[in-house]
Structure 1
């Protein structure tokens, strides 16, 4: 884990020792590195609209590369109305940051595009829901390129530990992203996966990127966590149970590799930008009918990014903006 200044602030919040908003703003104004970390964290995790406005203004004022990267990569383009601009202005006036009119005007459109929930095209509804996100081919290719050099053998929740290599169930490779990464590309991907339901963002685990090559697969399994050891039971007590899954397709130029749901009799083929979503819990109970598999790839490479959602907020996705 990247023990960044954001981590220190989140830990301070957990200990009920979070600095004031004024102190955080003053520190960021003097520290471009903190602002970079903060903007990436806010994009990947925050649904606090004032926090996003404040850090966007600071990043714009400091002319940070990460702000330019956000403008270039974020695929949702919105135009702030006069009423929304007035709301943003008043919101910033109530913050400890003294934002100039030109700065408010400059960040208004990107701020709106980050905080306004989107109506993604729905391709299928039911036990499995399919939406078409705004992730385009260029962003997908960049994510694959970024993850490719960071791959490790995949690990699972096993019978004896929460991190266990179980090659008879799956044999592909993975890259576990860092929630506190200062990489805007990874931050953008996570927010895009939740823009149609922003309320779920604070409940997401770190993103996991998977590569499946010819013959590789993930055999029948459920995504909920079985409390089989004391270590896993303690983790569930702190983080909560996995209740939902979102899978983002990053490639579709391969054969095979469908996401198959045995009990629901559904097979989903990949489409770049497609979100595959389903629940592992029904009526508050673990749902064995959610059993699914990533069928073997026959040709090409299958790439996906997965977010699992817990029934408790994930503490590293908490806002550093004190109320």
Structure 2
């Protein structure tokens, strides 16, 4: 752990808190933010919590021109006892370092990062909303800040954490979404940056998302970039199918993000003795299972929605309706259990939650 004290500069003016029913994702931010700098030869230094404010950066910074940046997403929750807790934050910082490695960004001290996050959440604890289904979204990220127009790793970086109160993802219940299978554009390929959480992956997904939205579909199901045959992710979530009593999900292959929610779902299913398998899955296999009446459920998993049930698939103009367009039994059980652990209404047999003092 870094042998440094986190300096704290508290804001002299507090922002008004929004009404719980008016919370929008990523639109309003808390009073404070965490910042730490990196300089080649000096390492990570000057960790501090300061009032939330704009950044002053040179127009030639590497991040603007070559996209050397990584980020994470996690949440803080208020439990039924009024305590604030995080969900598996250590896994997020582990993944951040894996992304750092792929983008040639210096590793952070994961223990120190967690302590900094807990201190920041503690300072802005009154920003964690208490209404049912609401939470405090947390965005750690690293940007390359060296002023330099050259294709090379930056020699300077900033590690920043900002936070935003967010409303309930499902305000009217756990509703299935309609998905279009994308067979022209690709999200990423094996050997690319798919398993890293970096901005370019998301920018590359926007065109296909725009086209599917115009057709009335809320998400895109990505296929592999080489053969356009094997299922990878849905939108920015990992994908699961329940086929003939068994839950299957694409195996991590270098182009699929190693989701923390994905891992939690797999562990829960194994804990319940529900058959679960990680392997390569072709879209043809899924459509064949649907034709044979064996495709029972499908759902995406991620931090924002936790579970996003799929009610309809469209591939090559052929529609498949799953479970009569209703949320499936296993999707509902997984959602209720995982959110229950996050909000402290269900037991946590895995030790996933971390209290914030």
TM-score, structure 1 normalization: 0.29
TM-score, structure 2 normalization: 0.27
Give the strand-richer structure, 1 or 2: 2
Give the helix-richer structure, 1 or 2: 1
